[in-house]
Amino acid sequence: MATKGEQFAGLSVALVTPFTDDEVDYGLLGEQIEFQVAAGTHCLCPAGTTGESPTLSHDEHERVIAFVCETANGRIKVMPGTGSNSTAEAISLTKFAEKVGADAALQVAPYYNKPTQRGFYEHYKALAEQTGLPQCIYNIPGRTGKNIEPETIARLAELENIDLVKEATGSLDQASAILSSTNLTVLSGDDSLTLPLLAVGAHGVVSVAGNIVPTDMLALLQAFESGNLEEAQRLHHKLFPLCRDMLGLATNPIPVKGAMKILGRDTGELRLPMTALTESEEASLAQTLADYGLRQHATA
C-alpha cells in the first residue's frame, strides 16, 4: 500500500515569526525563508505554534502565509498552520492557504474546548471534505488538553486528503499504533524524538531546531535513510542538548527566538503573553550554542 503524504517526508521547519516593534518583520522572514531554501529543507511550516499564531491577528496570519508561499515560489513546499478550535475558522483559513499556493495544511487539534473523539473525527472530516489540500493532523495534547486517540486517527486515515500526522504526544506506543494501523506519513513533532520515531517507521520531522541547524537535521534524516545508524546516532547525541534547550528552558518559541537573537538572525522579540528568557537562561542557552560550535553575533 502506498504511503499517503510521502511527498512531505523529510525535514519541515516550523518557522518563527520575526517581530520588530511589535510588527511582523517581513524582511527578516524573507531572510529566514532563503536560509532554509539554501539549506535544502524540504518544507516550511509558517504560522504554527512556533510562529506565535495565537497572537497573530487574522489579517497577519493570512499575510504571513501568503508571503511565505509567494517567497517560496515553488522552490520549497509550504505547509502552514491553519488550525483552530473553531472548525469553521479552520476551514476558512485552510481555503485561504490553498488559494495562495500552499501545498498542505497543518491542523492542530482543536484546543481548549476538548472535543470528544467523535468531535475530533467530524472536525477533520469537514476539513478533508471542504478543502482540497492534504491535511496533517497535529496531535499535541500537552498544549491542546486532549489526545486524538490512535483509533480515531485510523478512521480519519480512510478519508481522502488526510495524509499526515505530526506526532507530538511523546509516546512511542501511540506512534507505533498509528504506523501499524494506517498508511499515513508520520512526522515527529519533537526534535529529540526524531531518531526513535524514525526507528518505528516515521518519515521525518517538523523541527524547531531546524530554524538554527537545518543541515544537521537533514544529515540525521539522510544517515538513517541510508542505513548508517551509527552516524544517525552520533548526530542525535550532538543535537540533543540543543533540542533539550529548545523545549526545556522555557515554552516554545521563547528559546528558539532567544537562540536566533544570539546568532544575529532574529530580533528575539516576542508578543505577550510570551516573555523573553531571563539573563541566566539566556547565558545557559548561549553556552549550549557555543558548545555546539555556533558562532554568536558580535552585538548579541
138 tagged catalytic: yes
Which residue of the set 77, 124, 138, 146 is catalytic?
Answer: 138
- Torsions phi, psi of 258, nearest 5? -65, -40
Closest CA to 110 of 75, 68, 140: 140
Sign of CA dihedral 132, 136, 142, 147: positive
The answer to whether the beta carbons of residues 29 and 68 sit under 8 Å apart is yes
Burial class (CB in 10 A: 0-12, 13-18, 19+), 177: middle
Give me the sign of the Cα torsion angle 77, 184, 203, 285. positive
Closest CA to 151 of 126, 117, 122, 184: 117
Place of cell 537562540: 259
Question: Active-site residue 124, yes or no?
Answer: no
Task: Look at the chain and count its residues.
Answer: 300
Q: Which of 4, 166, 257, 261 is catalytic?
A: 166
Task: Give the burial class of 181: count Cβ atoms within 10 A of its Cβ; 0-12 exposed, 13-18 middle, 19 or more buried.
Answer: middle
- Tell me the C-alpha distance between 180 and 107, whole Å: 22
Cβ contact 266:16 at 8 Å: yes
Q: State the amino acid at position 178 in one-letter form.
A: I
DSSP H/E element including 288: helix 279-292
Q: Which amino acids are annotated catalytic?
A: 138, 166
